[in-house]
Amino acid sequence: MSFPLDLSPFLIEKAAKLSIKDADITEQFITGGGKGGQKINKTSSCVLLKHVPTGIMVRCQKHREQSKNRLSAYKLLILKIEQQVLGKKSDIEKKIFKIRKQKQRRTRRSKEKMLHDKAVRSEVKEQRAPVKGED
């Protein structure tokens, strides 16, 4: 399995595990859009990749050069296919889960702090109340 460009060994290994073949990927070079004025509308630096078996499409227009966009698009495509095939076992999903857990911990901690502050505030208010029975 050889891709038309030099990918990192990490990505080639992922592609091999997911059995992504070069023949399954269709490649198109299209004109970009958005910011950049006339130059972006004239040059075909935007790369569109489609993995035929899964139907996943990736469009990359981050860089000015077509070669860099092509490399980024292949990387994105491999990661997206991994995410779809492996689901929660993929690296991206694991990172997302880890961040969510950290945020839950933070919110739990902040809620406890808020409740503690509320209790302290109620004690202060209780002490302020006038004493009944004294005239």
Name which of 24-28, 61-65, 131-135 the model is least confident about: 131-135
What HEC string does the chain produce? Answer: CCCCCCCCHHHHHHHHHCCCCHHHEEEEEECCCCCCCHHHHHCCCEEEEEECCCCEEEEECCCCCHHHHHHHHHHHHHHHHHHHHHHHHCHHHHHHHHHHHHHHHHHHHHHHHHHHHHHHHHHHHHHHCCCCCCC
Q: Can you give the residue range of the structural domain that contains 107? A: 90-128
Number of C-beta neighbours around residue 32 at 10 A? 20
Rounded CA gap, 86 and 3, in Å? 22
Co-location of 61 and 22 in the same domain = yes
Q: What is the pLDDT of residues 43-52, one digit of tens each?
A: 888 999 999 9
Confidence of residue 1 (pLDDT cuts 50, 70, 90): low
Kindly report the CATH number assigned to the domain that includes residue 25: 3.30.160.20
Average pLDDT over every residue of 96-123: 88
Average pLDDT over every residue of 87-108: 83
Kindly report the pTM of this predicted structure: 0.66
Is 21 domain-assigned? yes
Q: What is the pLDDT of residues 61-96, one digit of tens each?
A: 998 889 999 999 999 999 898 888 887 777 888 888
With a pLDDT cut of 70, the percent of the chain lying above it is 96
Q: How many domains does the chain have?
A: 2
Number of C-beta neighbours around residue 25 at 10 A? 22
Co-location of 21 and 75 in the same domain = yes
